[in-house]
Chains A and B, each alone.
Chain A
């Protein structure tokens, strides 16, 4: 898999058989890997294992790190859609 993973809002991505759901790209609050709180454009990320069991669901924003199927990823960007009601995008960067 390449280093960057772009996921469209309201869709589902597959990472090594795990499901990543992305919704509600909107203004929100999140905490980065260093424990610092941020507020800005965020996304709601759901992580499900290969059995479709919920692993975690939380609000993410740039700088936040997540572990998916044992691999660390960093949120590279959360982008709005071209129009207010268009789907936004969550971009993850693979770290390990």
Chain B
């Protein structure tokens, strides 16, 4: 047994009483914190050892040198045992208090984290593992947001119909696509040109064709009367076609019964210009006028019970609609001078009169008439003739730089008759040599 030596400085031991509710160190968590807080032996093993060992100079924080009778005193042994019992009882009570406090703290914590949880009697060991859900407190106020959530479903029905509506307009544009301007009768070509800058559209109530006095057919060459634009090549070929193939023209035009007409032409492909496509062009019965209800361009034909005949005006307008305006139907600007092919779909033959004799010309023309082929003539331009030549053309009644339709040939008499698309100033029984002098070319339809 060791003796107490007062000269030796003894370390002062802390009382073994552990704090009732020792908080876990800030960096301590989980099991380590729990162990540190809940171990029944106290704060540490060393502290426990110091508190219970009889060799240690103090018991329960009381210095031994303060005990009467010294360490070997019998009554003091009983006192020590009694103290030990009291000390154990205190520790047990302290541990019970700590457990109770731990349980209360855990219950409180669980109430904060999961108020709906009924497992409040969970063991402390499991309690340490349930500390993890830190973000949940943010979720707890959710009972309050519920009224906020409620209006949301009322908003949701609004976007729901939208996707239903959106697909509906998508298929709608498809039927709009086929609305080709060529088929839209409300689309009119520009009615103006340099000589009719004020031209505007007016309604003409009429019919496709009327068989007037002296007409062989309802579609007749004398229905052709050129207007205020230089498209003589166009109307001359219409007149020639009307002489030989009136039924073909009749079949090109259909009355739609609603004030519109469908005109079917073999129009040049705008990219591959050597190709022609059978194209329907729908036009209204509005035509350009210069005021006063009189047509600015091709004139109406014979008058019938349903009004004047319109076939020349309809075909001219359909071609103007194809080109975009009347201006580009003039001979100087046209992209398609083969009006025979435009109506029949078959290319015409073009011949220069300078390359053939009068006899050959008469033979070619006779053959064309026999075959029912339309023929048009083109007069010389002024530059092809000198002043005397121009004067001679005028005296012969020829309009230079103008187109005509052939309306007859007499091989025996060696004469040719031409129809002027003006509707007046025709040339009848002109000698073939005069023709060869003032005309440069012929066009023969298929």
Chain A residues within CB distance 8 Å of chain B = 1, 6-14, 16-17, 19, 21, 23-28, 44, 46, 48, 52, 54, 57, 84-87, 89
By the criterion CB–CB under 8 Å, are A52 and B195 in contact?
A: no
Quick one: given A17-B294, A48-B424, A52-B424, are A11 and B229 in contact (CB under 8 Å)? yes
Within the assembled complex, what's the spacing in Å between the Cα atoms of A78 and B199?
Answer: 23
**With A11-B226, A14-B294, A85-B383 as contacts: A46 and B424 at CB distance below 8 Å:** yes
A10 to B421, CA, bound (A): 10
- Bound CA–CA A46/B53 (angstroms): 150
For B394, list chain A residues within 8 Å (CB): 24, 26, 28, 44
Q: Is the CB of A27 within 8 A of B195?
A: no
Bound Cα distance from A25 to B232, whole angstroms: 16
- Measured in the bound complex, the distance between the Cα atoms of B230 and A38 in whole Å is 28
Known: A12-B225, A24-B390, A24-B394. A19 touches B383 (CB 8 A): no
| CA distance in complex: A13, B424 (Å) | 13
Give the Cβ gap from A20 to chain B, nearest Cβ, in Å.
10
- Tell me which of A7, A24, A25, A52 has the highest count of chain B C-beta atoms within 10 A of its own C-beta: A24
Contacts of B194 in A (CB 8 A): 6, 8
Docked CA distance A87–B383 (Å): 12
Indicate whether B290 reaches chain A with its CB closer than 8 angstroms: yes
- A14 and B422 contacting across the interface, CB-CB below 8 Å: no
Q: Determine if A1 and B226 form an interchain contact, defined as CB atoms under 8 angstroms apart.
A: no
Interface residues of B in 222-262 (CB under 8 A from A): 225-230, 232
Complex-state Cα separation, A23 to B424, whole angstroms: 12
Chain B contact residues, majority secondary structure: loop
Query: Do A52 and B423 touch (CB < 8 A)?
Result: yes
Scoring A7, A10, A48, A85 by chain B CB atoms within 10 A of each residue's CB, the highest score goes to A10
Chain B residue with minimal CB distance to A26?
B390
Question: Which B residues lie within 8 Å of A27 (CB)?
Answer: 387, 390
The residue on B at minimum CB distance from A6 is B195
| Residue contact A12 to B230, C-beta cutoff 8 Å | no
Q: List 20 A-B contacts (CB under 8 A).
A: A1-B291, A6-B195, A8-B228, A9-B401, A10-B232, A10-B401, A11-B230, A11-B232, A21-B425, A23-B399, A24-B394, A26-B387, A27-B390, A44-B394, A57-B425, A84-B382, A84-B383, A85-B382, A85-B384, A87-B332
Does A24 contact B228, Cβ atoms closer than 8 Å? no
When distances are taken between beta carbons in the complex, the residues of chain A under 8 Å from B423 are 12, 19, 52
B interface vs A, CB < 8 Å? 194-195, 225-230, 232, 290-292, 294-296, 332, 381-384, 387, 390-391, 393-394, 399-402, 422-425
Which residues of the partner chain A approach B384 to less than 8 Å between Cβ atoms?
85
Q: Nearest CB to that of B420 among chain A residues?
A: A21
Find out whether the CB atom of A11 lies under 8 angstroms from the CB atom of B390: no
A14-B294, A17-B294, A86-B332 known; A24+B226 contact, CB < 8 A:
no
Which residue of chain B has the shortest Cβ distance to A59 in the bound complex? Answer: B394
Q: Which residue of A lies closest to B193 (CB)?
A: A8
Closest chain B residue to A20, Cβ basis: B228
What B residues does A57 contact at CB under 8 A? Answer: 425
Which residues of A sit under 8 angstroms from B424, Cβ to Cβ?
Answer: 19, 21, 46, 48, 52, 54
Closest Cβ of chain A to B405, distance in Å, is 15
Contact of B401 among A1, A13, A21, A85 (CB under 8 A): A85
A26 proximity list for chain B (CB < 8 A): 382, 387, 390, 394, 400
- In addition to A11-B226, A12-B228, A28-B394, 15 A-B residue pairs with Cβ atoms within 8 Å of each other are A8-B195, A8-B229, A11-B229, A12-B226, A14-B228, A14-B295, A16-B292, A17-B294, A21-B422, A25-B382, A26-B387, A26-B394, A54-B424, A84-B383, A85-B382
Complex interface: chain B residues within 8 A of A8 (CB): 194-195, 228-230
Chain A residue with the shortest CB-CB distance to B387: A27
Q: Which of A17, A48, A87 has the most CB of B within 10 A?
A: A87
